[in-house]
Amino acid sequence: MFAAILVSLAVVFVAELGDKSQLITMTYALRHRWWVVLSGVAIAAMLVHGLSVTIGHFLGLTLPERAIAFVAAGAFLLFAVWTWRERRGGDDDDIRVAEPRFVIPAIISSFVLAELGDKTMLATVALASDRNPWGVWIGATIGMVLADGVAIVVGAMLHKKLPEGLLHGLASVLFLLVGLWMLFDAALGWRAVALAVTLGTALCITAVAAVRFRRTRRASAPQTPDRDSSSESV
């Protein structure tokens, strides 16, 4: 059992590095307290890896990956709209953040949908097929929480340095990009289209944000009097 814990922890931790679940974790950490995000991640990890261990050890079934990917992509696009409307609902200095009782179910649902059929879950299914299922479940859960804890630290650091309005906008964009990637890549199987659409959307949003930032700086810059008018007044 101890060997199964160590192997599963290492495999899942490495598999989660750079995965979309880390991006999702950082997105939530930009808007909510770290312990709220970590609680949701831990519960989702227990559910997902409990399901994968059951499939690998007891059932030996496969999941309908494309159907799950369609549902997950739709959920993330809805999260993007919800987050953007939450941002526009108030001023940058007075943005209402949802209570933990609403945030934790959202984190759990998004993680479960994102991880179903993902490489991390498939690795857990394979590990559970020939190792102690309880050890695989414990190790995989710990590995996922540790990997996503890194993303929580990054999100918490950004949360202290950036204004709330910018954080909500960034979270909405991240949800949108993840949703588009899952729709075209995992659901439809169009990897090239997914790359083009996601990258093009990111570039367009970056360009629009840059233009708005320059306009805001120009509008807030202090006006300097012309030399001719100042010389005439003298």
Tens-digit pLDDT profile for residues 203-212: 998 998 888 8
Number of domains in the chain: 1
Quote the CA–CA distance of 103 and 98 in Å, as a whole number.
6
Tens-digit pLDDT profile for residues 100-150: 567 888 888 888 877 776 777 777 887 887 788 899 999 999 999 998 898
Assigned domain for 105 exists? yes
Tens-digit pLDDT profile for residues 32-77: 888 888 999 999 999 989 888 887 777 655 566 677 678 777 877 8
Quote the CA–CA distance of 82 and 106 in Å, as a whole number.
11
Distance of CA 38 to the CA centre of its chain: 13
Assigned domain for 135 exists? yes
**8 A C-beta contact, residue 11 and residue 125:** no
Model pLDDT, residue 101? 64
Assigned domain for 184 exists? yes
Q: What are phi and psi of 60, to 5 degrees?
A: 70, 30
Distance of CA 91 to the CA centre of its chain: 24
Model pLDDT, residue 139? 92
Assigned domain for 232 exists? no
Assigned domain for 120 exists? yes
Instruction: Note the helical H segments in 17-161.
Output: 20-29, 34-54, 65-88, 100-115, 119-128, 133-161
Assigned domain for 179 exists? yes
Quote the CA–CA distance of 2 and 5 in Å, as a whole number.
5
Assigned domain for 233 exists? no
Tens-digit pLDDT profile for residues 156-208: 787 777 776 676 677 778 878 888 888 898 788 898 999 999 999 999 989 98
Instruction: Note the helical H segments in 55-96.
Output: 65-88
Model pLDDT, residue 62? 59
Assigned domain for 234 exists? no
Burial class (CB in 10 A: 0-12, 13-18, 19+), 218: exposed
The C-alpha torsion from 126 through 152 and 84 to 197, rounded to 10°, is -50
The domain containing residue 54 runs over which residues?
A: 2-220
Tokens of 147: 């990997």
3-state DSSP percent of the chain in helix, strand and coil, to 5: 80, 0, 20
Quote the CA–CA distance of 32 and 46 in Å, as a whole number.
21
Residue 24 is given by DSSP the state H
Tokens of 2: 């101890």
Task: Grade residue 92 by pLDDT with cuts at 50, 70 and 90.
Answer: very low
